[in-house]
Structure 1
Amino acid sequence: MVRLIIPNGLTNMSKNLIVSGTITCTPQELATFSEVVSEHIKLTRAEPGCIEFDIRQDTPGSCTFLIAERFTDRAAFESHTARTRASDWWGKTQHIPRDINITEE
């Protein structure tokens, strides 16, 4: 399940789009998650419009990962989303619950 919180009125395309939240896998999913996350980070950081992108384990051994993303605008984020939906990352992790907040700054 992916839960997104997008405030009403989030439409100004000139502001940075900030994504924060968590992704929590089960202990059984941890190996698969760890296998694909590094490539996902590398590819995302190379995308036009990606200012910051980090996914890191909350604490050593934890199955919860903290997400911190910043894109130049909504268009860059939408391009990122489109790319990820066709990726190995999404194919292997789309079922893992995410709790995501999106804001503009």
Structure 2
Amino acid sequence: MIKLTGFIDVPADRLTAVSEALPKHIALTRAEAGCLSFEVTPDTAHAGRFQVSELFVDRATFDAHQTRTKASEWAKITDGIPRSYQIEDLTE
């Protein structure tokens, strides 16, 4: 399994656009083959920060998710927004 955890820090001037696009991004990701869980939740301690947690069955499905996401509307809306992610291969 592949696990991603971390956060995305959304600037105040982009918060509305990102928040409006987030439900579709979550729904599309959860519908992907191999997605076991996908959570993006507001961080109550940091304004504009969203905590991200993803779990995919294997590297291939995680890589397919990354490829799809890079070509998505979500990628356009969040382009250039700072992210801090850690990726773990739980099968090693």
TM range (shorter): over 0.9
- Deviation string 1:64-105 (CA, Å, 9 cap, x unpaired) is 000000000110010001111111100110211000000022
TM-score, normalising length from structure 1?
0.82
In 2, the alpha carbon distance for the partners of 1:30 and 1:91 equals 14
> Number of residues paired by the alignment?
90
In 1, the alpha carbon distance for the partners of 2:79 and 2:88 equals 22
In 2, the alpha carbon distance for the partners of 1:46 and 1:62 equals 29
What is residue 82 of structure 2 aligned with on the other side?
97
In 2, the alpha carbon distance for the partners of 1:31 and 1:88 equals 15
* Fraction of identical pairs, as percent: 39
In 1, the alpha carbon distance for the partners of 2:48 and 2:15 equals 6
In 2, the alpha carbon distance for the partners of 1:20 and 1:94 equals 19
Stretches of structure 2 that go unaligned for 5 or more consecutive residues are: none
TM-score, normalising length from structure 2?
0.93
Structure 1 runs (4+) greater than 2 angstroms displaced: none
Structure (1 or 2) with the greater helix fraction: 2
Deviation at 1:60, TM superposition (A): 7.9
State the superposition RMSD in angstroms.
1.3
What is residue 48 of structure 1 aligned with on the other side?
33
In 1, the alpha carbon distance for the partners of 2:62 and 2:49 equals 23
Stretches of structure 1 that go unaligned for 5 or more consecutive residues are: 1-15
Amino acid corresponding to residue 35 of structure 1 in structure 2? E
